């Protein structure tokens, strides 16, 4: 079995574990856990804030109006959902779509980190403030850092963190939409590692890390998952 297949199986086991999670009170009001969806071997991982009503109902990330805009933005750079992986900081919907609370983020962040450790993307594109601040470890808001690649390490994986505005915010502000489109236009070069200014530092490291898992080994045991 290939390394990619082993990691895909480990990701599915994580998903099954997540569906029974009761780490925080959000589990009491959810319809379903929104684990994430897409290519488990993707070079590009999107991280949003939290599921909304549509996502809570379907169990899939970004299926409302913001999801349609995300699809359009991907199409604009010649990509589609089946080429990326989409997840959120929180896996359960906060009541009334309120902002995530610090304790909820703390309860869920380990799951996101495990997803990064298994997918091993080159680029993690954070959508909005919550995902950006969590994964960058910086206090700056999205308006200051959007479109600026940041070399970071997430769960032991060197990645390029690339903050952009959340599509939901861009639905209401046309100027923000233009900025979001401009930021998305740089993603193909970032993922390819061909933009000297924007690409991840020594981008092959992320993919070299994939090979560090021996063929047939269980990544969940190596990473201490669950």
Q: What is the pLDDT of residues 91-130, one digit of tens each?
A: 999 999 999 999 999 999 999 999 999 999 999 999 999 9
Task: Report the pLDDT averaged over residues 77-96.
Answer: 97
Segment 149-193, tens digit of pLDDT: 999 999 999 999 999 999 999 998 888 999 999 999 999 999 998
Domain annotation for the chain: domains and CATH numbers: 3-213 (3.40.470.10)
The residues, ordered by sequence, that sit 6+ positions from 133 with a Cβ below 8 Å of its Cβ are 139, 140, 141
- Helix residue ranges per DSSP H, 19-101: 53-58, 65-76
């Amino acid at each position: 079995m290939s390394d990619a297949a082993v990691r895909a199986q480990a990701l599915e086991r994580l998903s099954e574990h997540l569906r029974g999670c009761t780490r925080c009170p959000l589990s009491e009001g959810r319809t379903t856990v929104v684990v994430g969806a897409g290519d488990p071997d993707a070079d590009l991982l999107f991280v949003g804030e939290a599921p909304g009503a549509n996502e809570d109902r379907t169990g899939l990330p970004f299926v409302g109006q913001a999801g349609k805009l995300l699809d359009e933005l991907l199409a604009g750079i010649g990509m589609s959902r089946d080429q990326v992986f989409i997840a959120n900081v929180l896996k359960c919907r906060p009541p009334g779509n309120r902002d995530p609370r610090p304790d909820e983020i703390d309860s869920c962040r380990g799951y996101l980190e495990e997803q990064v450790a298994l997918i091993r993307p080159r680029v993690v594109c954070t959508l909005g403030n919550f995902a950006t601040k969590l994964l960058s470890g910086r206090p700056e808001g999205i308006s200051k850092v959007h479109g600026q690649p940041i070399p970071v390490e997430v769960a032991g994986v060197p990645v390029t963190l690339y903050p952009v505005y959340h599509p939901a915010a861009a639905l209401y502000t046309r100027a923000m939409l233009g900025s979001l489109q401009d930021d998305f236009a740089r993603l193909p070069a970032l993922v390819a590692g061909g933009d000297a200014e924007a690409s991840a530092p020594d981008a092959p490291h992320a993919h070299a890390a994939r090979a560090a898992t021996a063929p047939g080994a269980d990544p969940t045991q190596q990473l201490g998952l669950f």
